[in-house]
Amino acid sequence: MFNQNNNLSIVNIFLIAIIIVVNLLFTFIPLLNILSYESSALNGVLFGLISGIYWLHNKNKNSIFNHLKFYSIISAIPLIILFISTLVCQQCPLSDGLLFYTVFALPSLIVGACLAELSIKISDHYKYLWFIFVFLIILLGFLPELYFNPQIYFYNPLFSYYPGVIYDENIQITEKLLLYRTVTVLFSISILAIFNIKNNFSKFWQRYVIFIVVVLYLSSYFVKSHFGFSTNLERIENELKGKIEIENLTILYPNNISVLQKNILILEHLYSLEKNIKLFGKFDEKITSIIFRSGAQKKELFGAQNADVTKPWLNQIYVNLDNYENSLNHELLHVFSKKFGNGLFNLPSNYNPGLVEGFATAFDNNYDN
């Protein structure tokens, strides 16, 4: 693998060194110091980057055997380091850790090579710049969903899946996640095969394939919700089935609740709205309150099972049916805080979390809850 020229040898050694150093650093950080979801997802991002850079340097200089040898080495390094660290810490079942590593980390090697291949075809002269650009676009592809959709969980080709909370001890490898990862890998392999099996592609056909890839990626934003890989408002309405509209307020709720529960739900919303209007003045924009049937449904559609959340920039609040009486007014106050916020997210200056929560807590005046 390292016998072709000194520059190539140095590059490969440097890439391997990065993998070693990063994973050794992981051993000093809680949650990352074992074979876990967190360490596997971050290694997925790292693998995508390292794999892409390697492919840009070595695609036409190494044999298939040497490619496989390099990828085997970098695949084994985090596994060995974190395997030993897991044994020392004894905090996580090794079987779960190995499964996380297989699903979250390893497929990103193929994704990274695919992104590098596309970068080469876009412009061989500027392939490194294009790769970094494309890599960042894919890595940050969840941002439109965060901003425009009522969700805080994400599926991503590089880190696979983010559950919506910083720490989720109940994260599982679901059929949906396996399907997403399988589709991602098969799509990446297809791109690599198209460009490498047939080497005499004209520039026109190369750009045509790239155009198709771009169209498919952009269109995936609009179709992911149909497969359960994202959540838009339409999907929530279809799942909950209950909807009430009163002036500038929309309440989406599970339609299997009783008439009495429904009436109480409406009155609680109207009371909280009126109370906050007296404090801050009329709120002219439409507010959408989403009441989930259970924590499990909320986790599936929104991402956070137990935490009640507000997106002030969307004027949307997300609460559970069994707890909305305690948190409804607090979350509505986050919407009203939009009047004093700024920026894309309508939050206090510098997005200070103390001000975000302090505002709602102070005016909610519900300290016992």
338-358 tens-digit pLDDT: 888 777 788 776 777 778 888
**Range from 9-13, 34-38, 201-205 that averages highest in pLDDT:** 34-38
- 105 burial (CB, 10 Å; 0-12 / 13-18 / 19+) is buried
Higher-confidence residue of 30 and 368: namely: 30
The average pLDDT across 303-320 equals: 92
Nearest of 220, 225, 221 to residue 237 by alpha carbon: 225
pLDDT at 2: 46
Q: Which long-range contacts (CB under 8 A, 24 or more apart) does 60-66 make?
A: 61/4, 61/5, 61/8, 62/1, 62/4, 62/8, 66/1
Using CA atoms, how far apart are residues 82 and 24, in angstroms rounded to an integer?
8
How confident is the model over 147-152, as a mean pLDDT?
Answer: 96
**Which residues, 6+ apart, have CB-to-CB distance to 138 below 8 Å?**
48, 111, 115, 156, 157, 158
Average pLDDT over residues 22-34: 95
Nearest of 119, 97, 126 to residue 38 by alpha carbon: 97
- The token pair at 32 is 């990352």
What pLDDT does residue 252 have? 98
| Other CB atoms within 10 A of residue 241 CB | 12
Mean pLDDT of 212-235: 95
Confidence (pTM): 0.90
- What stretches of 59-126 show up as alpha helix (H) in DSSP? 64-89, 94-100, 107-122
* Between residues 128 and 306, the one the model is more confident about: 128
User: Residue 258's pLDDT is what?
Assistant: 95
Distance separating alpha carbons of residues 169 and 171, to the nearest angstrom: 6
In the chain, domain spans? 6-227, 233-364
Q: Is the pLDDT of residue 159 over 50?
A: yes
Q: Is the pLDDT of residue 332 over 60?
A: yes
Q: Which helix (H) or strand (E) holds 7?
A: helix 6-26
Confidence of residue 91 (pLDDT cuts 50, 70, 90): low
> Per-residue pLDDT for 145 more than 70?
yes
Residue 170: pLDDT band with limits 50, 70, 90: confident
* 111 within 8 A of 184, measured Cβ to Cβ: yes
Find out whether 176 and 196 touch, Cβ atoms under 8 Å: no
pLDDT at 120 over 70: yes
Considering the segment(s) 233-364 as one domain, its CATH architecture is 3-Layer(aba) Sandwich (3.40)
pLDDT score, position 166: 64
pLDDT for residue 167: 66
Q: What pLDDT digit, counting tens, does each position of 66-88 carry?
A: 899 999 999 999 999 999 999 98
Q: Model confidence at 6, in pLDDT bands (50, 70, 90)?
A: very low
Asked whether residue 369 carries a pLDDT value surpassing 90, the answer given is: no
At 1, is the pLDDT very low, low, confident or very high (cuts 50, 70, 90)? very low
The pLDDT of residue 8 is 53
pLDDT at 72: 96
Q: What is the pLDDT of residue 353?
A: 78
